[in-house]
A and B are shown apart, each in its own frame.
Chain A
Amino acid sequence: MPSRINTEIRTRSVPQGVWMKCASCDEQLYRKEVERNLNVCPKCNHHMRIGARARLDYFLDPDSQEEIGSNLEPEDPLKFRDSKRYRDRVIQAQKKTGEKDALVAAKGTLKGRPVVVCAFEFGFMGGSMGSVVGERFCRGARCSIDTNAPLISFAASGGARMQEALFSLLQMAKTAAVLAEMSERKVPFVSVLTDPTTGGVSASLAMLGDINIAEPKALIGFAGPRVIEQTVGQKLPEGFQRSEFLLDHGAIDMIVDRRHLRREIAILLAKLEHRPAPAE
């Protein structure tokens, strides 16, 4: 269930060089400053898309990361080929991102509390979910259950990966099932929806948080805006399927600025787990 949002736009809104331009306000920005600001525009607060590694680095305590399922690599069960072979697309994406697939899972600590984090890599075939993404997510969740460590996921995905067809679709059921197990064991799951989270990822793991949090102005939805426009034959209203729209319609618990995610989630988890408030 891909959502047909455009996944081929450059995900690094950060071209090389000392200076860069904000894609939202067009302001000339000093790259170092933007990076220090977690890739949030210092002028307009636009949350730029970031990769899975940057996400883990921003979120977890320094030097606490231990990766889960890094030995898993995609296969091509269907021998899928469109204008290009799936195998070649994978190799290309691996070269471009330095990742084996579109999700990185890791153990680590958040203000001292052991947690597990799963972060999507949107630059890898639009963060699409195939067998490796599903399996890594589940191994992360398993680790959460086994060590009673809360799970935090950062979604950034166009949906299920077409090239693995039904295998991809079934990852929705697989990830939802492990979250059902987590829920029974009362291990907290915080789902963070970032720009964009659509299709089969939105319609499975990303909407199943005990707490659902979105970054500001992220595109979040089931169907992509273009598909909806084609179906209903009308232009979508301004702000449709953005975080603020979802908050208004009751789909998410809160919108949190990227620079406050560590603090907000740490405070929340401590309450859910009856621990004292984390140190600032």
Chain B
Amino acid sequence: MDLKFLEFEQPIAELEAKIDELRYVGNDPEININDEVARLKSKSEALTKSIFSKLSAWQIAQIARHPMRPYTADYLTQIAPDFQELHGDRMYADDHAIIGGIGRLDGRPVMFIGHQKGRDTKERVRRNYGMPKPEGYRKAQRLMKLAQKFSLPIVTFIDTPGAYPGLGAEERGQSEAIAYSLFLMAKLRTPIISVVIGEGGSGGALAIGVCDRLLMLQYGIYSVISPEGCASILWKSADKAQEAAEAMKITARSLNEFGLVDEVLPEPLGAAHRDPLAMGEVIRNALLKHLADLDRLSTDQLVEQRAQRLAGFGQYKEG
């Protein structure tokens, strides 16, 4: 499998290449290949552990955007195998950058909504790189109301660079679509759990991220603007994205320390794409646990707690 190693993973890539080479060398009786492969494998594992134990915010951003990172549909195939996709906003179009539908999580029907990126070029274009337009948010709103009507809990997967900044999106009211999503989710009478599985890009992420529990994968990021965007405004140069990524504290760990993220979901060694099935299991178990927690609340309590949670966001001095 071609793992598409990132720049900072090069030492691991070299070791893995060596291991592959050895495997092809075949059966030279002089050297015990199995022993050598095992030795290199454990070395590679140790190296991966060491590199991944001290990642910078910028490196984590690259992992969050990794071309092999599992996307919403990948997790749905695993944790909700009978997922049925529901399309369209009933007004204008079906936005392929957001998918939604009903699946069963451990037997229980759940409304799943998530950003969807594409794997190859054609699919990326079709998914608009995971950047929704107003019709995407309006589809999500429609599905959320449907979930409320039939008492289905909502799980959202966040993975977008942001809402699409285009002419048509402006004409059709991108601002209103995002604003109304926030307005709607604040009072929705059904549990909402959001999981940042990759990139949490700004308002385009938040528009499906108002929730009772916010979970974040270990190498996900979540920020008010992309590191590149922030750098180009404040540092006047997109090249300073590394500094901006650090300064904005975009990682799961930092945001958990600030109390803005409820739980960080640990990723397999070398990140989610090295073992998507293991990652899916972690997500499934976390969702079940938090849903069970939220089930203990009456609907009134649930909505009241969400209101308090939202009212509590922010840090300021009171003189």
Using CB atoms and an 8 Å cutoff, list the residues of chain A in contact with chain B. 1-2, 4, 71-75, 77-78, 80-83, 130-132, 134-135, 138, 160-162, 164-174, 176-181, 183-184, 199-200, 202-208, 220-223, 227-228, 231-232, 236, 240-241, 249-251
Contact = CB atoms under 8 A, between A and B. Distances in A.
B225 A134 contact: no
Contacts of B176: 207, 251
Question: Main secondary structure on chain B at its contact with chain A?
Answer: helix
B137 to A, nearest CB: 10
Contacts of A83: 234-236
Contacts of A203: 163, 174-175, 178-179, 203, 207
A184 B319 CA distance: 32
B314 A207 contact: no
Contacts of B178: 172, 203-204, 222
Contact of A232 (B167, B204, B244, B307): B167
Interface string B208-251: 01100000000000111100011011111000000110011110
B15 interface: no
B73 interface: no
Interface in B301-318: 306-307, 310-311, 313-318
Interface string B273-317: 000000000000000000000000000000000110011011111
Given A172-B182, A222-B178, A223-B174, A184 B187 contact: yes
Given A223-B165, A232-B167, A249 B173 contact: yes
A172 B206 contact: yes
B255 interface: yes
7 contacts: A1-B206, A77-B258, A83-B235, A168-B224, A170-B260, A199-B203, A208-B179
A78 B224 contact: no
B224 A71 contact: no
For chain B, the bracket of interface size reads 35 or more
Contacts of B314: 130-132, 134-135, 167, 170-171, 174
Nearest to A101: B316
A174 B102 CA distance: 28
A232 B166 contact: yes
A73 B319 contact: yes
Interface string B185-198: 11100000000000
B180 interface: yes
Contact of B316 (A131, A170, A250): A131
Nearest to B260: A166
Interface centre among B182, B230, B248, B258 (most CB of A within 10 A): B182
B171 interface: yes
Given A204-B179, A251-B173, A173 B313 contact: yes
B37 interface: no
B148 to A, nearest CB: 14
A133 B162 CA distance: 23
A162 B165 contact: no
Nearest to A81: B247
Contact of A1 (B169, B210, B225, B250): B225
Given A177-B186, A181-B307, 5 more contacts: A2-B225, A131-B316, A169-B202, A177-B187, A222-B178
B167 A236 contact: yes
Contact of B165 (A71, A134, A170, A231): A231
Interface string B50-93: 00000000000000000000000000000000000000000000
Given A4-B229, A221-B170, A222-B169, A170 B179 contact: no
A207 B175 contact: yes
Contact of A132 (B169, B171, B316): B316
Given A172-B203, A206-B175, A222-B175, A166 B247 contact: no
Contacts of A176: 179, 182-183, 186, 210
Contacts of A170: 206, 260, 310, 313-314
A171 B167 contact: no
Given A173-B186, A208-B180, A1 B247 contact: no
Contacts of A134: 313-314
Contact of B175 (A168, A181, A221, A236): A221
Contacts of B183: 176-177, 179-180, 183, 208
A240 B175 contact: no
B221 to A, nearest CB: 10
Given A172-B182, A227-B165, A78 B248 contact: yes
Contacts of B319: 71-73
Contacts of B167: 228, 232, 236, 240
A83 B232 CA distance: 12
